[in-house]
Each structure stands twice: as C-alpha cells, then as structure tokens.
Amino acid sequence: MKEIESAFVEERRNRILSIIREKRRITVKELGRLFTISDVTIRQDLNALSSAGLIVRTHGGALYMENNSEELPFPLRRQKKKKEKETIAEAAAEFVKDGEVIYLDSSSTASFMVPYLAEKHEITVITNNIETAYQLSKLPQVSIILSGGMVRKETFSLVDAPLSCILPEGNISKAFLGAWGLSLKEGLTDVNLKEIAVKRDALLRAKRVFVLVDSTKWGRVSFKNFAGFNEVDIIITDAGAPVDTIRALTNRGVKVITVKVQH
C-alpha cells in the first residue's frame, strides 16, 4: 500500500515539475486548483522538488531554474538547496576563531554563516554583501566592514572597489567564497566579471581560502575562472558531490569536507 502511495506522490510531483517547466513560474494556489489538493500538500511537493535542486521556492509558489549561467536574485538563491547551504555554512563557521578577520563574499552559502558566528568573540567580518552586513549588525560582538563600490541589485552586493580602499594594510585570516561552478579542468568559475574581481581580490589577501559549494555546483562551468585549486585550502560541500572528483582533488592536495544534510 505504501509503495502505491509513494508512486502516486512521485507521479504527481513529476507532473508539477512539468507544469512549472512550461509556465516558468507558478503559485501554490494555482497548483492547488489544478490538482484539487490542499495547499499544505502542494507546499510539501514544492519543498521536495526544491530540495532536489529542480526548482526554486518563492514566496507563495515556485520558479523553474534552468541549468545555465543566469543569476537568480539573492533571496531566491538563498532558497535553492537551502538545507545543504545551511549545513555547509555551519561547518565553515567552525573554522572561525575568536579575534580573526574574515571575509564573506556575496554568495548565498556564505551568507548562511552569519547565525553560526553568534558565539564568536572579537571577530571582524569584511563583506561586499549588503544583506549579510545587515544580518551581522545584529551580532553585537562582531565588527563589520562593508566594502565600497557600486551596488549590484541582483546580488545585493558591492563591486568595483578594491579591498585596499578599506584595508590598506593587513591580511585577511580566512576568506569564505562561493562559486557558480567547480570542475577539474576549469577550476572555480562564476558568472559576473565584477563579482569575480572582488572574489579574486579577497582570495589574494587571505591566508587561508575556503570554498563553499553545494553538490549541484560540481561539474559546472560558468563564464570565467576566479581561482585554481592550488589557491584553495579547503572545499566544503554536501555528500551529494561526486566521489571521483573529490578523490582527484584530494590527490592534488586539496582538502574536501563533505557534510551530511538532515532533511
């Protein structure tokens, strides 16, 4: 009986995915009317599809995301593979020690580190993400340096200003960077040239570089490389990342940490 019920749920979710792929965007209410089931059940279906990386949950509905180099708005990126990003961010925060100066880039995964920094003392966080800086401002023991430059509305980030403008001397203890894609041949790549320049600037100033990427980023290549694996100390990802690629990186001397996600 359970097998029949499970098959029915899977079939319904496949139909929902097809509808979202065709319409590109849909609401919970619309799907509820189409399938004559409760909004609660529709939300469960959408959450399952989102966890699988097939759609992006929006307020009151869902958005279909092609596997291409287009950038989603920052709030939507935070919803994609959210559990994985939260778990990766928690593991990354364990490397932050009291008194350090760290850098968080504009990636959605790095932004999830904020609540896990609440127990740290006398740390300084440099970031080019406006939303991340705002959330950090709620932590009284954290000093915040927001980089200058022009605002990219898509990412809530600041670009076009080198870190030397705000940090003329001194190094960054650790930089935590996201990436749109990770591949053995192309290294770490991202979508936007201006964001890439900011990542590159932080990477060159950091004593240790951490890359935070969920398993959907593995094997993808975007517009331009911003780092080779020889410039990276630790990659933190979830258990869905390909084992053969992890093994190849380990053989190159890159430490890869995989985290188990509790759904």
**Among 229, 240, 234, CA closest to 255:** 234
Q: What is the pLDDT of residue 140?
A: 93
Q: What is the pLDDT of residue 133?
A: 95
**How many Cα atoms within 13 Å fall on the side-chain side of residue 193?**
0
List alpha helices for the chain, DSSP H: 2-23, 28-35, 39-51, 74-79, 82-93, 108-111, 130-136, 193-205, 243-251
> Across-strand partners of 27?
61
For the domain made up of 82-259, give the CATH fold.
Rossmann fold (3.40.50)
Yes or no: say if 141 and 121 are a contact pair by the CB < 8 Å rule: yes
In angstroms, rounded to a whole number, what is the distance separating the alpha carbons of residues 113 and 230?
A: 24
In angstroms, rounded to a whole number, what is the distance separating the alpha carbons of residues 9 and 14?
A: 9
C-alpha separations of 103 from 46, 144, 198, 207 in Å: 34, 10, 11, 11
- Model pTM score: 0.73
Q: What is the pLDDT of residue 77?
A: 65
**Among 24, 208, 215, 6, CA closest to 100:** 208
Q: What is the pLDDT of residue 51?
A: 72
Q: What share of the chain is helix, strand, coil (3-state, %, to 5)?
A: 40, 25, 35
Q: What is the pLDDT of residue 169?
A: 66
Question: What residue type is assigned to position 100 of the chain?
Answer: E
Residue with tokens 């100066």: 101
Q: What is the pLDDT of residue 68?
A: 47
Q: What is the pLDDT of residue 234?
A: 97
Instruction: Please state whether beta strands 123-127 and 101-104 pair in parallel, antiparallel, or not at all (unpaired).
Output: parallel
Counting as low any pLDDT under 70, the low residues of the chain are: 1-7, 52-53, 65-79, 168-170, 263
What is residue 182's three-state secondary structure?
strand
Query: Based on C-alpha coordinates, what's the Rg of the chain?
Result: 20
Give the single-character DSSP code of 110: H
Q: What is the pLDDT of residue 168?
A: 63
Architecture of domain 2-65: Orthogonal Bundle (1.10)
In angstroms, rounded to a whole number, what is the distance separating the alpha carbons of residues 25 and 19?
A: 9
In angstroms, rounded to a whole number, what is the distance separating the alpha carbons of residues 240 and 169?
A: 40
CATH code 1.10.10.10 region(s) in the chain: 2-65
Q: What is the pLDDT of residue 193?
A: 85
In angstroms, rounded to a whole number, what is the distance separating the alpha carbons of residues 194 and 171?
A: 22
Q: What is the pLDDT of residue 206?
A: 94
b/e burial code for range 178-216 (CB count within 10 A of at least 16 → b): bbbbbbeeebbbbbbeebbbbbbbbbebbeebbbbbbbb
Q: What is the pLDDT of residue 11?
A: 83
CATH code 3.40.50.1360 region(s) in the chain: 82-259
